[in-house]
Chain A
Amino acid sequence: MDVTTGFFTQDLWTWWLAVYLYFGGLGAATLTTTFLTDMYMKPHKELVLWGAWSGIIMLSLGSSMLFIHLLDHLAVIHVLNPLVLFNQPHAWIAWGTQFIVWMMVWGFLYSLPYMLESEFFNSIPILKNILALPLVQKIGSTCGRHCRLCGWLATINGIGTVVYTGLLLQSFPAVALWHNPGVPLLFTVSAFSTAMAFLLLILNLAIKKREEDRPLRVFYERTDLMLIAAELIILFSFFFYLQRGSQSAAISAQLLWNDWGWLIGFIGFGLVVPFFLELKGVIKGWRSPAPIMLASVLVLVGGYLLRHYFMYAGVYARPW
């Protein structure tokens, strides 16, 4: 069939889905990183509580974006049922919903023993009464005894959530920008990079155990540096992948690389500037934490911009 082809972007999944993907990736990677840190690097109550609760809040915010945009809110019950994985094993939203729900459940249970001994949580009026309940105490002590199991179950679901945010876009075959294996990889690397940036901010602003946590901050800085480098390489590959091949891909490339928000905002200030700020920090160090905190804020903004522009630059080739 010889057709005249038109090229269209979509207006169905816009900024709000970018927020869903962003908070999904950031929240899950934050929770996963803090749990792995607590289990294998350094037991750290404050970090776990910050990681678990900011992760749960971010995932709730992100999920609420999708939920409020559903046409039929009651029908969401079908996808909350774990049996959905047997009925729709090929639907990534089904997997993603289960990953998110179970990550929050296991994340809560992993952090519960720390919550029970936390002064902050035990000073919140209603919550302190709930935490004092014998049942909650018993669950907390059980989770404390099996913390590795809870931690790994949360971690597996967390990694699942992170990868899912990319797999979701990859499952749409009509859009060359999305339908390729680079997308889950890019979104996974970006999610863990933003999580490192977020945790650096938490360590510098909220926890403030400066000397004690120094090795942890250095580790997160180095890891973030490598993740930003990996992200730049993946984007470099994307640039050349999109240039040649389908026309839909080439138009996506034009949309992205001719946009100052993508080029200067995301690649420039969201990746290159933080890369050099962190590189200087790793090689020679900074006298003040301010440059690393600036780099972290830029990485966090960049992480959203990546998903925002990705949603708007998806191009459909249609035969009319």
Chain B
Amino acid sequence: MTHYAMVIDLNTCVGCNACMAACAMENQTPVWKNKWRTYVHDKEIGTAEDIHRRFFPRLCNHCDNPPCMSVCPTGATRKMENGIVLVDEETCMGCGACAMACPYDARYAVTYSDVRQGREFFGEEAYRRTRPSMDKCNFCAQRVLNGRKPACVETCVGSARQFGDLDNPDDPVTKMVASGTARPLMAHLGTQPNVYYVDDLKRRG
């Protein structure tokens, strides 16, 4: 069995936003409205003399206990056996309950107007979306199922993003998670997320 997960090393993320660009092109997100499946937050931590600039990439955490799925009234959000949480745009009515339930702010609305604009922006023939929905990252399932890595992982210049299979004990991602080097966000909420972070502040001494 495969159980996909991602580790993000905050020490090596340089904030180039290439992941955002790669994701936007791969998944045709409405960038003209500043809506992204993955987003890199830029934050300064500390005081003037000892300041640290942290780039914090975020995306859907593909939780094992996803609150977005349990509140979805139409069943549009579902979890695959490999751990990826998907949204079926045909079934989604766009009530927004998933966005309200998500602790990681992973959801955004794709409206009819975005679909029209998407056809112009990405090209009539290339644009895949036909309906509006509450969209989110799907770990680039279309690539992963063909043996490729998600677009954000493949493009990351600092190798800050690593993608792996938690059911494979030899996978570097599994080792980082098992050792506690990489840890999930807000685990106390019981969502059992599958995106893990390597802390950047501890290494600063």
Which residue of chain A lies nearest to B68 when distances are taken between CB atoms in the complex?
Answer: A172
| Distance of A178 Cα from B43 Cα, bound (Å) | 28
Contacts of A12 in B (CB 8 A): 96, 99-100, 109
Contacts of A244 in B (CB 8 A): none
Interface residues of B (CB under 8 A from A): 41, 43, 45, 54, 56, 58, 67, 70-76, 90-97, 99-105, 109-112, 131-134, 183-186, 189-191, 196-197, 199, 201-202
- Rank and list the top 10 A-B pairs by shortest CB-CB distance, nearest first: A71-B94, A174-B103, A75-B93, A93-B73, A78-B74, A71-B132, A1-B183, A320-B41, A94-B73, A91-B73
Interface flags, A222-238, vs B, CB<8A=1, else 0: 00000000000000000
| Distance of A319 Cα from B191 Cα, bound (Å) | 15
Sampled A-B contacts (19; CB under 8 Å) = A1-B183, A2-B201, A10-B100, A13-B96, A69-B96, A71-B112, A75-B91, A78-B73, A78-B75, A79-B74, A87-B75, A94-B74, A171-B70, A171-B101, A173-B101, A173-B190, A318-B104, A318-B105, A319-B186
A92 on interface, CB distance cutoff 8 Å: yes
* A66 and B95 form a contact (CB under 8 A): yes
| Distance of A10 Cα from B108 Cα, bound (Å) | 12
* B73 and A84 form a contact (CB under 8 A): yes
- Which listed residue, A1, A69, A171, A316, touches B105 by the CB 8 Å rule? A316
* B183 and A174 form a contact (CB under 8 A): no
A124 on interface, CB distance cutoff 8 Å: no
| Distance of A78 Cα from B103 Cα, bound (Å) | 26
Contacts of A283 in B (CB 8 A): none
* A71 and B134 form a contact (CB under 8 A): yes
* A174 and B94 form a contact (CB under 8 A): no
A207 on interface, CB distance cutoff 8 Å: no
Contacts of B41 in A (CB 8 A): 320
CB distance from A289 to the nearest CB of B (A): 42
Interface flags, A148-183, vs B, CB<8A=1, else 0: 000000000000000000001001111000000000
* B91 and A319 form a contact (CB under 8 A): no
Contacts of A76 in B (CB 8 A): 93
Interface flags, A89-103, vs B, CB<8A=1, else 0: 011111001000000
Which residue of chain B lies nearest to A311 when distances are taken between CB atoms in the complex?
Answer: B100
Contacts of A319 in B (CB 8 A): 56, 185-186
| Distance of A13 Cα from B183 Cα, bound (Å) | 31
* A93 and B71 form a contact (CB under 8 A): yes
* A174 and B101 form a contact (CB under 8 A): yes
**Count of chain A residues near B, Cβ 8 A:** 37
Q: Which of B41, B93, B133, B196: most chain A CB closer than 10 A?
A: B93
| Distance of A1 Cα from B177 Cα, bound (Å) | 12
Contacts of A94 in B (CB 8 A): 73-74
A70 on interface, CB distance cutoff 8 Å: yes
* A4 and B103 form a contact (CB under 8 A): no
| Distance of A204 Cα from B70 Cα, bound (Å) | 45
A127 on interface, CB distance cutoff 8 Å: no
Contacts of A78 in B (CB 8 A): 73-76, 91, 93
Given contacts A71-B93, A173-B190, contact A91 B70 (CB under 8 A): yes
| Distance of A107 Cα from B110 Cα, bound (Å) | 37
Given contacts A71-B96, A172-B67, 19 further A-B contacts (CB under 8 A): A1-B185, A1-B196, A12-B96, A12-B100, A13-B96, A70-B94, A71-B93, A71-B111, A75-B90, A84-B73, A84-B74, A90-B70, A91-B75, A168-B97, A171-B71, A172-B71, A172-B101, A174-B189, A319-B56
Per the 8 Å Cβ criterion, residues 291-320 of A in contact with B are 316-320
* B109 and A88 form a contact (CB under 8 A): no
Contacts of B104 in A (CB 8 A): 318
* A2 and B93 form a contact (CB under 8 A): no
* A1 and B91 form a contact (CB under 8 A): no
Given contacts A1-B197, A174-B101, A319-B185, contact A70 B71 (CB under 8 A): no
